[in-house]
Chains A and B, each alone.
Chain A
Amino acid sequence: MNKDQIIQTINLSKKYKNRWAVTDINLDIRQGQVFGFLGPNGAGKSTTIRMLLSLIRPTRGAFRLFGCANSRNIYRRIGALIEKPDFYLYLSGYRNLKILADLTGGISNDAINEALEIVKLKGREHEKVKNYSHGMKQRLGIAQALMSNPELLILDEPTTGLDPEGIKEVRDLITDMANDLGITIFLSSHRLYEIEQVCTHMAIIDHGKMVIQGDVQGLLRDTNFFVTEVEVDNPDKAYKLLAEEEWIKKTTLSERILKVQVAGNFRPRLVDFLVSHDLKVSSIVPRTHLEDFYLSLIEQRGQI
């Protein structure tokens, strides 16, 4: 057990009746990491998170949080937001936070107010939650996760229901918490751009099984995954020509821009190839989008 190991799962598995929702998930999340947890709907992300929060019991395997197994006190060091946060609608936002604070223990009223300030709910905290918009409930959910000054934040789709400004604020907040406070963040999200922007490490699961795990930039680099965006004078002709070439993994044409999946060292060859076929190349831009990487991986597994 490494000292800075915050989350460790060992063959974590969950079976619902006859269906394995999660099989042999091995996660290794270290202190200070912003860890993105990716996968299509039904891949097992929420099931994994629920097991970590002991909302459901693993069928097989185990997990350790801060190096400890089976200790409820550990959850004092964790803030969690699981999918859409559900509060007591008949109580005010402040009263909801106060109850959760008392349940956690050691959270002052100032800490509650500070959390409300961060999520910009100050001034509305004494209204009943049933009168809150979806975005406000989401903010309240983030506030309850933050108010205990956690060492580990587990966030499951934290920006759901937020407006673009709110999404950016949460994204910035996550980055700040990780960078300034050294909080370890475990973030499940469908927003690949979000993961790419804020996460240092990530794991992709599909059909309940781990597909890949590692640091974001390293994975993109090591898997030699590049997409090169090319603009030519006759993209249809170029698309047909490139589609027949074996050294090119994949070509797509969208809004007159060719997206060519090709290893980085093949890029000069790509330009030569296009020019040799009387195509005028006006731009060539190498990109390594997580989205392309993710979709490519999922496609390889027969998802699309």
Chain B
Amino acid sequence: MISLLTATRLELIKTYSRYRTYIGFVTISILVPLIMWLVRKYGFDEMQGNTLNSLENSFVFVGSLVNGLLISYYLMTVLWVHFPFFIVLVGGDIVASESSAGTFRLWLSRPVSRFTVLTSKFLATFIYTSSIVFFLGLCSVGCGILIIGGGDLLVFDKGILILSQEEALLRFLLAYSLAVCVQMVVASLSFLFSTMSNNSVGPIIGTYAIIVVSLILSVLRIDALDGIRPYLFTSYFDVFFAPFADPIPWEEIKFNLSRLGIFIAVFYSLSLISFLRKDICT
């Protein structure tokens, strides 16, 4: 029987042959340099003022603390709500589009198991997710340094943390690696909906709606919601900011990663059950 590796390779060929796969890459390629340029041209002084406003009474700052790394750090907030759109665009489509196009009839009448087909799609989704997350990181940090300039990274955590550029770059690498796990939860949820649907619009809207609602529930500081918060995957989304603490809270990262891993495993398992039982009628 055909190997999972071959099926994944074929899945990647299909995924990266579609225009929609590049929507995220193109948008990031345009928006990130534009934001960096706009900050440099118009928002530099204002941002410096906002950043240092509350600190100027206690500290004396020499030079500029607003640099490309700080803007990149702020840009990471898009990973909460905006960035998942690029993920669901592919994750929500990867199974459903084949159902609606009827191409599953050709695939599933070949000597390949449904488990292999679905798992190869899941792996392709993972590779896409990783590539676009790291692309954002590379664009963000790279353009930040190139357009605005590098330097030490000033982070407000439980105090003020100043990281050297070299240290900050390593922390960014860790942060974006953790962001891949976060975005994989989004991807696997949209993937689950994709296996249940015969068109990609439903999974995309459905996943996005759940993300928004879950995020609102996660951030609302209401005691009544304490009971359900551990069951919301968005409660663990902020793990990618953890590397910017000192010392790095490895225990917290491990805990959050394990929870995110459970969500990914559950969503994938449900997808598999759904797909194995699915009748290909269209």
- Give A contacts to B, CB under 8 Å: 50, 53-57, 72-76, 78, 80, 82-91, 95, 99-100, 102-105, 144
Contacts and interface: CB of A to CB of B under 8 A. Distances in A.
B111 A74 contact: yes
A86 B103 contact: yes
B157 to A, nearest CB: 46
Contacts of B9: 102
27 contacts: A53-B108, A55-B279, A55-B280, A56-B280, A56-B281, A57-B279, A72-B1, A75-B109, A76-B110, A78-B109, A82-B105, A84-B102, A86-B105, A90-B19, A91-B14, A91-B17, A95-B13, A95-B17, A99-B14, A100-B110, A102-B2, A102-B9, A103-B6, A103-B7, A103-B110, A104-B111, A105-B2
Q: How large is the interface on B (under 10, 10 to 19, 20 to 34, 35 or more residues)?
A: 20 to 34
Contacts of B6: 102-103, 105
Contacts of B221: none
B1 A104 contact: no
B106 interface: yes
Contact of A86 (B7, B14, B106): B106
Contacts of B158: none
Interface string B104-120: 11111111110000000
Given A72-B1, A76-B111, A91-B17, A85 B106 contact: yes
B110 A55 contact: no
Nearest to B106: A100
Interface in B231-282: 277, 279-281
Interface in B1-35: 1-2, 6-7, 9-10, 13-14, 17-19
Contact of A75 (B13, B14, B111, B280): B111
Interface in B79-138: 101-113
Given A55-B280, A56-B281, A73-B1, A103 B112 contact: yes
